[in-house]
Copies of this chain bind each other. A is one copy, B any other.
Amino acid sequence: MDPRLVRVHAADNVAIVVDREGIPAAATCSDGLKTREFVPQSHKVALSDIAAGEAIVRYGTPIGFASRAIDRGSWVREELLTIPPAPDLDTLPLATAVPQPQPPLEGFTFDGYRNFDGTAGTRNILALTTTVQCVAPTAEFAAERIRRELLPRYPGVDDVVALGHSYGCGVAIDAPGAAVPIRTVRNLALNPNLGGERLVVSLGCEKLQPDRLFPIDESCACGGDNLVRLQDERHRGFSEMVAAILEAAEKRLEVLDRRRRVACPASDLVVGLQCGGSDAFSGVTANPAVGHAADLLVRAGATMIFSEVTEVRDAAHLITPRCRSEEVARGFIREMRWFDDYLRIGGADRSANTTPGNRRGGLANIVEKAMGSVVKSGTSALVAVTAPGERVKKKGLVFAATPASDFICGTLQLAAGMNMHVFTTGEGTPYGLAMAPVIKVASRTALARRWPDLIDLDAGRIATGETTIEALGRELFDLILGVASGRRRTCAEKLRLHNPLALFNPGPVT
C-alpha cells in the first residue's frame, strides 16, 4: 500500500504522515505526492511549494509562517515555522455564528446514584476532605483502614478516598489568588460521585479553617458530626484520632451503602474532556471522535466540559463566535485575559506550552496543538464559562477555565462537578483519578496495542480508515454510558491508578 497522508481541511497546505515507520525520501504517497526527504510518522509534509513568509495552513488555519521557502514534498519541521501572534482579545467576534441546536437525542439513560442536590453520581465514593497538608498522612492512614476494615461490610460503597492536597496553611490565604484553591477544595467535596456525605479532617490551627469550606455542625462529638479535628483535646494520640475518623466514616458509609443505582437521564452526566501527551494525530483521530461524542451528549442533554486555557487561547477566534450570547463570549475572553496576565507576571507566555513529546509527535507549536485540542469541544454552542475551581451549573457545552497541566485540569474539572472523564493521548500516559472514572482514548493504534491494559479506546483506527470519526464517536458515547452505569470499568479503575490531586494556587506561599 502506498504511504498515507491525512489532510484535515481543504485549505491545508500540509498533511500528516500516517505510516508508523514514516515515509522515506522519493516515495509516492497515496495521493500522488512525492516526498523529497524522510518524514516521520505524525509529522507534516508540504502539499505544495510554500514561499518564505507564506502561511502554513492546517485545520484551515495558519499555524505559522514559513521561515524560508519550503518545497512540495518536504518535511515541514518545527524550525521552519514562525509562530503567529495570539488572537487579539479586543477584536474577537462575539456570538456571531451561534450553532443551531441539533435535534435532541431522547431516551438515553445510565444507572447512577441520585444525590439530594439533584446531581447524580457514576460512582458511590466516601471522601475524606482535608483542610491542610498536615493531616494528609493521617487521613491516608485512616482511609486505608476504612478500606480494609469497614468497606467489606458496606459492599454498596465503591471506595474511600482521602482528598489530600498541598494547600491550607503556609499560604497567603487572603491574597487575591487564594479564592481559587479554597473554592476548589470546597467544590471537590461536593462532587456528585461523593454522594453528599461530607467528612472533613482538619488539624485545628491551620489557616484554612473548616468553616471557610462549609457550615460545620459543632454540636456532636469531636467537633461536629462531619468534622474530625486532630488537635481536639479529646483525642489521646494518633490512635484515637484515627479511631475518631473511622467512627465518623462509618456513619457516612451507612448512608452511602443504602443507595442503589437508578436509571438517570444522560443529562445527569457531567463529562470532563482533556488531552495529555498529545501528538499530531490527536487532532485528527481521538479529539474529533471525542468532539463527535460531545455533540451527541449535548444533544442528549448532558454537560460537556472542555478546559485548558493555553490549549484554547490560539483558537479563541473560533470559540467566541460559537458562544450562545455576547455575555458568554465576554466571560471566555475574561478567562483568556486573566491567564495571559498570570503568565506574563511569571515571565512566561503561551509558548511555554508544547512539550518535547508534543514536538517529537509532530506538533510544531502551541497554535497547531491548540487547533487539535479544541476539536474535542465538537460543534455545539458554548453555553457557559466558569473560572478555575467554580462549579458548573449549566447543561450543554461549557468552558471551565483551567491550566493545561493534566492534574491541575483534572482536579479543577472534578471541582466543576465532573462525574466522568475522557482523556485523549498520543504519546501515552498511565493517567487516572480517584474520584471519577477516566476513559483513555489513544490517538494511534500502535499505542493502543502496546498498552492494552491502559488504553480504553483506540481512535487510531480512524487514521487507518478502519472506522470513521462518527462511528468512533458513537462508540465512545456508548462506552461513557456503560462506564457511568458501572457495567464497565476503565483500565485506570482496574489498576487503581490515582494521580494525586493538584490544586491551582495562583497566590503566593508563605
Contacts and interface: CB of A to CB of B under 8 A. Distances in A.
Contact of A137 (B206, B241, B430): B430
Contacts of A177: 346-347
Interface string A138-175: 10010000000000000000000000101001111111
Contact of A427 (B204, B237, B452, B504): B204
Given A134-B429, A138-B430, A204-B427, 7 more contacts: A164-B500, A166-B500, A205-B277, A230-B428, A238-B491, A346-B506, A500-B500
Given A174-B348, A206-B357, A356-B205, A504 B500 contact: no
A358 interface: yes
Give 7 nearest A-B pairs by CB, closest first: A205-B357, A170-B405, A346-B508, A172-B348, A172-B352, A205-B427, A175-B348
Interface in A175-215: 175-177, 203-207, 209
A83 to B, nearest CB: 15
B237 A450 contact: yes
Contacts of A141: 495-497
A274 to B, nearest CB: 11
B498 A176 contact: no
Interface string A485-510: 00000010001111110101011111
Interface string A354-388: 01111011000000000000000000000000000
20 contacts: A134-B277, A134-B499, A137-B497, A141-B496, A170-B405, A170-B409, A172-B346, A174-B352, A176-B346, A176-B347, A205-B358, A205-B427, A231-B427, A238-B491, A342-B508, A345-B345, A347-B508, A348-B508, A348-B510, A408-B509
Contacts of A450: 233, 235-237
Q: Interface size for chain A: under 10, 10 to 19, 20 to 34, or 35 or more residues?
A: 35 or more
A136 interface: yes
Contacts of A409: 170
A407 B348 CA distance: 26
B509 A403 contact: yes
B361 A205 contact: yes
Given A166-B502, A207-B356, A507 B134 contact: no
A24 to B, nearest CB: 20
A169 B405 contact: yes
Q: Give the number of times this chain occurs in the complex, counting copies.
A: 2
Nearest to A428: B231
A162 to B, nearest CB: 11
A454 interface: yes
Contacts of A453: 237-239
Contacts of A204: 357, 427-428
Given A170-B406, A407-B170, A509-B504, A238 B454 contact: yes
B352 A175 contact: yes
Interface of A: 133-138, 141, 164, 166, 169-177, 203-207, 209, 230-231, 233, 235-239, 241, 276-277, 310, 342-343, 345-348, 350, 352-353, 355-358, 360-361, 403-409, 427-432, 450-454, 491, 495-500, 502, 504, 506-510
Contacts of A451: 236-238
A230 to B, nearest CB: 6
Contacts of A404: 170, 510
B135 A238 contact: no
Contacts of A352: 171-175, 508, 510
A177 to B, nearest CB: 7
A406 B348 CA distance: 28
Contacts of A241: 430
Nearest to A239: B453
Given A237-B451, A406-B169, A510 B203 contact: no
A206 B430 contact: no
A430 B346 contact: no
A311 to B, nearest CB: 9
Tell which of A169, A239, A360 has the most Cβ of chain B within 10 Å. A169
Given A166-B500, A356-B209, A406-B170, A343 B429 contact: no
Contacts of A276: 134
A502 B169 CA distance: 12
B170 A403 contact: yes
